[in-house]
Amino acid sequence: MTTRPGRAAKRKRVARIPRVSACLLSWKRPQNLPVIIATLRETNFINEILIWNNNPELRLEVDDPITRVIESEDNAMCYGRFLCAAEARNRIIYVQDDDAVNHDIEGLYGEFLADPARITHALIPSHSYYRRAERQMYGSAHNALLGWGAFFRREWISVFNELPPSTFEDSLILREADKVFSLLQDREHNTVAGQISQLEGHSKPGLALWRDPVHRQQSALAVRLALRALRLRNTPEEPAPWNVVITCHNYGAYLPDAIESVLGNDADYEIHIVDDASGDNTPQVAAEYTSRFEHIRYFRNDVRSGPAYSQNRGIKASLSPLVVLLDADDRIGPDYLFEAQQKLAAGADVVNPDATLFGASEGRWVVPDVTTLESLLRHNTVHNCSAFRRELWLRAGGIDEHMPRWMDHEFWIRVAAQNARIEALHGEHFFYRRHANSLSRSAAPRVWRKSVNWASEEVV
């Protein structure tokens, strides 16, 4: 016959549970703090509550014996939660924002104790991060959202020491610190469906925030920053996986759109702009971006040398193993580099995206699932913006600089002749600008005149 443990035994067992410091961020919702603190006090393992006040214009006063307010000299944004964690006395940290209540902190802590080598974080199941969990994985690194409640070890915040001090002068790291912190752990985290209630003044729903252009770019740049740090952690000389070559001749008016479309991709990449002796404001536009972003470089041809020469020059400028060629008047989608890298990692050699037409005409070119040498010899079905392995370019001898047009078709033929696997990437990944005087309208029929099944003249 077994006996149930008495109260003394229960207290002894509870005492072995590691104590936790709760670190709260407060910016503009101080009215929510009392209910959050009350929820934290219901646990038997949180014995310290620290509030990082990100609003230097508002003094917080909290009447609670285990709660301490830390006044920030300025708004450290999300990075404040880690500055707060550095002040904690316990080794295990619980963090959350001031716009929600987590009703199952004990359950979340139990998940963490069962697997204490990973961040354990709660998400609302309807949130876009939860629905797109696989989209937040970058190899072994996982982008975790911490604001609705998360447990981690205090010593893990030391990963920020890997970043140059100048990094913290940029609002990017302050705003997107969660992404950088979680990715630098270089492990998959434990995502739990949380019991969350949003409070007064809560942030915009996740899906709406995901669609906000400023947020998307800041989020993507933070991911790039973290992935770069991971790459350089053990191999300081290793190049970025991606080299995006943007070629431009008198398209300075469109160049910002092309660059911004790449900056919206959450991947580890560099951009090389090759200016083919433009007579417009291309140099000024490029200088504006190179001054703001260290991973953008600019080259200018002294005399006009053609698109093939410019593309080869851009590819030669980097040893990155993966390449995308982008004309300055076109754009790529925010998921292109991520999804193309997934396909390349799975064995593809060339990733051929569908094209969405915009500008003088609208439509869609859907590419075949697989492109072969035989089909390429009949007509081109591979877009110029396709992602490919640099080694194929080397083995093919580069892009032919003497062909006046259709050099991309001829290049893909030579690539396919190497038994390269050319696979489609369906979706909104490549945006092709149609000009009223486009060559593709006046020249002999090519890939651009083909439809979904490449048998009709209708553009879809």
Domain boundary among 233, 253, 275: 233
**Count of domains for the chain:** 2
* 380 domain residue, yes or no: yes
Residue 460: both structure tokens together: 């879809």
- Residue 49, φ and ψ in degrees, nearest 5: -125, 120
* 187 domain residue, yes or no: yes
Q: Kindly tell me if the per-residue pLDDT of 11 is higher than 70.
A: no
CA dihedral sign of residues 133, 138, 140, 144: negative
Q: What is the mean pLDDT of the chain?
A: 89
Give DSSP secondary structure letters for 277-293: S-SSSHHHHHHHHHHH-
Higher pLDDT, 133 or 296: 296
Question: Sorting pLDDT into bands at 50, 70 and 90, what band is 2?
Answer: very low
Give residue 460's pLDDT.
Answer: 27
* 159 domain residue, yes or no: yes
Residues 132 and 269 grouped into a single domain: no
Q: Kindly tell me if the per-residue pLDDT of 379 is higher than 90.
A: yes
Residues 228 and 243 grouped into a single domain: no
Q: Kindly tell me if the per-residue pLDDT of 440 is higher than 80.
A: no
Residues 409 and 424 grouped into a single domain: yes
* 9 domain residue, yes or no: no
Question: Sorting pLDDT into bands at 50, 70 and 90, what band is 57?
Answer: confident
Residue 92 corresponds to which amino acid?
A: I
Q: Kindly tell me if the per-residue pLDDT of 177 is higher than 50.
A: yes
Give residue 447's pLDDT.
Answer: 35
Residues 65 and 98 grouped into a single domain: yes
The CATH number of the domain holding residue 185 is 3.90.550.10
Question: Sorting pLDDT into bands at 50, 70 and 90, what band is 445?
Answer: very low
Give residue 438's pLDDT.
Answer: 58
Higher pLDDT, 196 or 442: 196
Q: How far apart are the C-alpha atoms of 410 and 404, rounded to whole Å? A: 12
Q: Kindly tell me if the per-residue pLDDT of 458 is higher than 80.
A: no
Q: What percent of the chain lies above the pLDDT cut of 70?
A: 88
Domain containing residue 78: 17-233
- Contact (CB, 8 A) for 180 and 225: yes
- Contact (CB, 8 A) for 178 and 144: yes
Residues 260 and 398 grouped into a single domain: yes
Give residue 202's pLDDT.
Answer: 66
- Contact (CB, 8 A) for 271 and 286: no
Higher pLDDT, 208 or 212: 212
Residue 201: both structure tokens together: 């003044």
Give residue 204's pLDDT.
Answer: 57
Give residue 454's pLDDT.
Answer: 26
* 412 domain residue, yes or no: yes
**Which pairing describes strands 350-359 and 422-434: parallel, antiparallel, or unpaired?**
parallel
Domain boundary among 233, 268, 298: 233
Residues 209 and 247 grouped into a single domain: no
Q: How far apart are the C-alpha atoms of 187 and 183, rounded to whole Å? A: 7
CA dihedral sign of residues 332, 337, 343, 348: positive
* Range 41-68 average pLDDT: 93
Domain boundary among 233, 260, 282: 233
